[in-house]
Chains A and B, each alone.
Chain A
Amino acid sequence: MKYSFIFLGILFGFLLSRAGATTFDNYAQLFLFQDFQLLWVILFAIIVGALGMLYFSRIGGLSLFGKEALTFDKKPMKAGLVKGSLLFGIGWGIAGSCPGTAPAMLGEGKIMAVFSIIGIAIGTYIYGYRASKIN
């Protein structure tokens, strides 16, 4: 199953680009209230996703890969959720990209995405370092 995710990644990266999520300026213009492209992308993705997940949860069924019963796990309310979300948002506005869109931007030839990707990896490492030392 895991190898087929390279094709899913290709499809997702393609769609992020077509959705305008790989254009740095769309992030700045969203938070400057000049252009709402990404707001519509996010809102419609959530609406379609919510309807689909509701439908899947009603009909149940098995996943096509691996034949697992579909699980509707929700992410937990972590202790650091407020702090972490604000930090993420601040970084989002500065970098004009996010962990999913930066790799797609890289594929389009946008060099700044490399710095975003390296930064995300460093930030992930810092969290992992702190978490490893605390436990």
Chain B
Amino acid sequence: MNSVVVWSGWVGGIAVGLYALFQFRLSNRQLGCSLAYGNIIGAGSKLSYFRTGHFAKLNNWRLWFIIGIPIGGFIAAASSPNAEIVATWSMGAVYDQVMPNSDWLKGLVVMFGGILMGYGARTAGGCTSGHVIAGCALLNPASLLAGGLFFVGGLMSVQFLFAVFL
């Protein structure tokens, strides 16, 4: 199984916070991930939304940043003494209790969650990295509200899933 090394929450939080500061000091670019999906999906689209504003240039830092992230995940797993790098369909013991047994049906449920995140992030103007980690650190009221509502939404769907399907 994927038993990657996990630090204590506060250590991980400090590390992620320092990372966000490092990136900002280095590049004047605040942390953010969700827009990069528009760089990728927009490349194959003629819609004006994917040609203007944030997407005026699709080959930008966001694209290269999101290309790097999976490599970092791979290195994290490869450098964990007890982790084997194997592809797994499992989501873990907790989620697998409430998700469909069929791998493909489970994938559809997760994809539905992804669609809500992609649409929601653009509607709200950011995701967990942009609004919560970067935006809340600026004490931006919009980001504090978004972050609070992300938690409300997560509470709603997880409580629903485990109340109905457990």
Known: A92-B113, A104-B73. A131 touches B49 (CB 8 A): yes
Which listed residue, B94, B121, B141, touches A99 by the CB 8 Å rule?
A: B121
Greatest chain A CB density within 10 A among B6, B15, B69, B158 is at B69
Which listed residue, B19, B59, B92, B116, touches A88 by the CB 8 Å rule?
A: B116
Known: A45-B16, A86-B153. A108 touches B130 (CB 8 A): no
Q: How far, in whole Å, are A68 and B27 apart by their CA atoms in the complex?
A: 8
The A interface is mostly helix, strand or loop, or mixed, namely helix
Which listed residue, B107, B118, B143, touches A126 by the CB 8 Å rule?
A: B118
Q: Using a Cβ–Cβ cut-off of 8 Å, how many residues does chain B contribute to the interface with A?
A: 126
A77 to chain B minimum Cβ distance, whole angstroms, is 4
Q: Are A50 and B137 in contact (CB under 8 A)?
A: yes
The B interface is mostly helix, strand or loop, or mixed, namely helix
Q: Are A125 and B9 in contact (CB under 8 A)?
A: no
Which listed residue, A1, A92, A97, A112, touches B150 by the CB 8 Å rule?
A: A92
CB-defined contacts of A73 to chain B, threshold 8 Å:
30
Q: Are B64 and A5 in contact (CB under 8 A)?
A: yes
Tell me the residues in window 103-135 of chain A with beta carbons closer than 8 Å to chain B beta carbons.
Answer: 103-112, 114-129, 131-132, 135
Known: A15-B16, A43-B13. A102 touches B114 (CB 8 A): yes
Q: Are B40 and A121 in contact (CB under 8 A)?
A: yes
Which listed residue, A46, A84, A118, A127, touches B132 by the CB 8 Å rule?
A: A46
